[in-house]
Amino acid sequence: MSTSASGKALIIGGSLGGLFMATLLRASGWEVDVYERSAAELDSRGGGIVLQPDVLQALRYAGIRPSHALGVMSRERLYLRRDGSIAHQQLMPQMQTSWNTLYNTLMAGFPEARYHRGAELVELTQHEQRVSARFADGREAEGDLLIGADGAGSTVRHLVLPGMQPSYSGYVVWRGLIEERQLPESAAYLLRENFVFQQDPQSLMLEYMVPGLDGSVADQQRRYNWLWYLKAAKGAQLDGVLTDRDGVRRNHSVPPGSLAPERDAWLRDMAQQKLNPALRSLVELTDDIFVQAIQDFQVPKMVFNRVLLTGDAAFVPRPHTAGSTAKAAANALALVQALKNGGDLDAALLVWQQRQLLEGARMSDWGMEMGNRIMGIAQSA
């Protein structure tokens, strides 16, 4: 029987879910290596993330103390009509950060030498109490635990739960960011430091501010982050959305800089027709619009002997929950708490799984219900 107090963990995937696991396990005495498929520095150009308490708690547990605020506060929620008038206004202070800010903060708390880039997991083998991993370039590694933090298209999940794939929700989200100083005052007076929405039948546009690309939250250094949810029917319509400027049909998203010109022109035209002047100016001023298909996914299990699934590899909640990143942080916090008493490792993993499955399913079900209601999609029984 091996104990849970310490050991060696192999983390597959070096985005936020992997880095929460890596920094927290390391803080509780585990030896940790992260294996990230991408050979280059990861970069999302800093799409927005609502900063939830689980994320702050995870950073504290990992001993990471950021030197300045991680996000931008929004004061009010404003619901605008098409003509720009305010339909509803509510005081609701909350903080928004960006993917890059969290990624850089977590990376600063983890040793570079234990973060292995260009390491794509292709195979894993479970021995009695050990797991070994093989990577596409021939590297091999072995540990007491292997944690699949490799996102919605997880290879780890594919190896332990073959055949299970996320399903398409029926709508996509168009996204963009602009520098704070680009936005004219005629729009900024409504959008600055507010969480602003325009809800129409089968369409939801929203914006909030996030730190600058360098993490700065100083005046005029921040950015406006916008998201516009629109339907795209599976088949020719979705294929058109996800076919990039080189004619390649992407799986789930077209990143900044790769959108086909005719799609870009279509969205800008839609913005002219449908959006109020303040939100419309965000779309007009965005250089690189990008788009992601909204997917759903839930696992029936997260523990497979010494292999675990975490973050988006386990549950892909709709973005309306603002909870994917917080859930990845909560998965890691709960794991280190389950392991800390030094008891039987296998028993501790099962205790961890029980709560994570419930929470993951709850968030995912809630997101589907909310998203379908927002987009006017009939709920399936």
Ligand X SMILES: Cc1cc2nc3c(=O)[nH]c(=O)nc-3n(C[C@H](O)[C@H](O)[C@H](O)COP(=O)(O)OP(=O)(O)OC[C@H]3O[C@@H](n4cnc5c(N)ncnc54)[C@H](O)[C@@H]3O)c2cc1C
Q: Bridge partners of 89?
A: 78
Nearest residue to 178 via CA among 11, 57, 312, 47: 47
Nearest residue to 215 via CA among 377, 368, 101, 132: 101
**Would you tell me which residues interact with ligand X (CB under 6 A)?**
12-18, 35-38, 42, 44, 47, 49, 99, 119-121, 149-152, 155, 311-313, 324-325, 328
Cβ 139 to ligand X, closest distance in Å?
11
Phi first, then psi: what are they for 245, rounded to 5°? -65, -20
Which is nearer to ligand X, 276 or 320 (by Cβ)?
A: 320
Cβ 155 to ligand X, closest distance in Å?
3
Cβ 61 to ligand X, closest distance in Å?
17
User: Which helix (H) or strand (E) segment is 271 a member of?
Assistant: helix 261-274
Classify 187 as helix, strand or coil: helix
Can you read off the two tokens belonging to residue 96? 């928004």
Query: Residue 30 burial (CB < 10 Å; 0-12/13-18/19+)?
Result: buried
Residue with tokens 């339907």: 231
- Which residues are CB-contacts of 160 (< 8 A; sequence separation ≥ 6)? 148, 304, 307, 309
Cβ 45 to ligand X, closest distance in Å?
8
Cβ 311 to ligand X, closest distance in Å?
2
Cβ 221 to ligand X, closest distance in Å?
18
User: Which helix (H) or strand (E) segment is 141 a member of?
Assistant: strand 140-143
Which is nearer to ligand X, 54 or 150 (by Cβ)?
A: 150
Give the integer Cα–Cα distance in Å for 190 and 126: 56
